[in-house]
Amino acid sequence: MGQSMAGHIMDAGYDVLVYNRTKEKAGGLMDRGAGWRDDPFALAADSDVVITMVGYPADVEQVYFGDRGLLEGARPGTVLIDMTTSSPDLAIRIAEEGKKKGLFILDAPVSGGDRGAREATLAIMVGGEKEVFDSMVPLFNIMGKGIVLQGGPGSGQHTKMSNQIAIASGMMGVCEAVVYAKKAGLDPDRVLSSISAGAAGSWSLSNLAPRMLKGDFAPGFFVKHLLKDMKIAVEEAKRMKMEVPGLEKTLELYEELASMGFGDNGTQALYKLYDK
């Protein structure tokens, strides 16, 4: 996803520097003219705006707070935007530390998967100060369509947790609906053509259910990353003293799926637990 997003920014005429823990993965961008820096510190020191998208909260923490990290290298006035799906508390901590150093911080996780990144149609959920958000809207418009400031620091991450809760529990419904249709002796593709157009319609039903039926479990979004997101959401719900039985059941099923060796599959692989 990050490569597609950076590519759109280059296409819009911006000068782009890149850093990745595995340099070879940035080769395509460098072939197109992106500059390379050897660590987050060096990249931040030479940038006006830094966008991060990594795997897990621990990775975010390392990139921002670690030795030769972004917070150490960025010049006052630099805008740092974390587009990783991560912990709201960590987003707030980054914003607080950045403010002490004269930096401007936004948390801006996205939804839309690999296709949304390629087609620049990502939903972008932003937390931070309005003035900073407003100044970055032209950049966000290059990568996405639904761009909304949700509130102060951490609000983007909380919004993404709401998104992931809806997706996770909804995926159970999609799997159950498809397998029910098959066991009832119906043509599941024909069933999808009907229910996708009605009140049951959703992005997952329209885009992932057809992949399930084709046996296509290639990742648009990894099982292991949805697991990470669900665990953050469960912890946040506990902190707010909120019960989330649907989310907890979905987490249990995806943990079972991952234990079977399918963590690198796409989230539609949940179908494998149902289609027996």
Beta strands in 26-177 (DSSP E): 35-36, 49-52, 79-82, 104-107, 110-111, 122-127, 144-151
Grouping H, G, I as helix, E, B as strand and the rest as coil, residue 104 is: strand
Between the alpha carbon of residue 9 and those of residues 2, 4, 250, the distances in Å are 11, 9, 36
- Structure-token pair, residue 136: 């970055």
User: Residues in the chain, how many?
Assistant: 276
The Cα–Cα gap between 11 and 32 comes to 10
Active-site pick, 23, 100, 145, 160: 160
The Cα–Cα gap between 47 and 16 comes to 9
Active site residue 160: yes
Grouping H, G, I as helix, E, B as strand and the rest as coil, residue 83 is: coil
- Rounded to the nearest 10 degrees, the angle between the axes of helix 245-257 and helix 155-183 is 70
Active centre residues (catalytic): 160
